[in-house]
Amino acid sequence: MHLLREADPDSLAPLEHQLRSSVLKPADSIGSIYSEEQRQQIVNNVITLRSSLIKSDLSNERPIMPSQLQGRLLLYVPSENVSDGSSRYASNGFFDRDDCPPWDSWLLYSDRTLLSWVPEVLLPLAQAGIDANAVACIKWAD
């Protein structure tokens, strides 16, 4: 509580808009809704839209460097988050208030769990968010 009195957590999240493109923004946060069917639909919508955007933009394809493919898979169980903002604060905005990773990185939603990808350059920030999370609703897949 002392830290919250001294800091404005909303001003400490510069990554908040990275990997969260406005065109893919879901209608609701999967961390703040309770229906598994709605969560599944939200994630499917993001993935389907991203796939169609990638297909339509193949003519502008740039070569991918091997270093851009480095990263880790992350698991997030939205029904277990506590929405306290600790992972958001610790990760400098990589995770949101509900401990959810950015939607541009979402890969799959299955069995109450979101699978997403974290680029190598953001691994330390993601790890800081995982370490700050009190309920372990975010963890590495490997």
What integer pLDDT is reported at residue 141 of this predicted model? 96
For residue 39 the two structure tokens come to 């969560």
pLDDT (tens place) for every residue of the chain, 142 residues total: 444 444 444 444 567 777 899 999 998 999 988 999 999 999 999 999 999 988 887 666 667 677 677 899 999 999 999 888 899 999 999 999 999 999 999 999 999 999 999 999 999 999 999 999 999 899 999 8
What letter would DSSP give residue 91?
Answer: T
Q: What is the mean pLDDT of the chain?
A: 86
* Of residues 96, 86, 90, the one with CA closest to residue 125: 90
Can you read off the two tokens belonging to residue 105? 């990185």
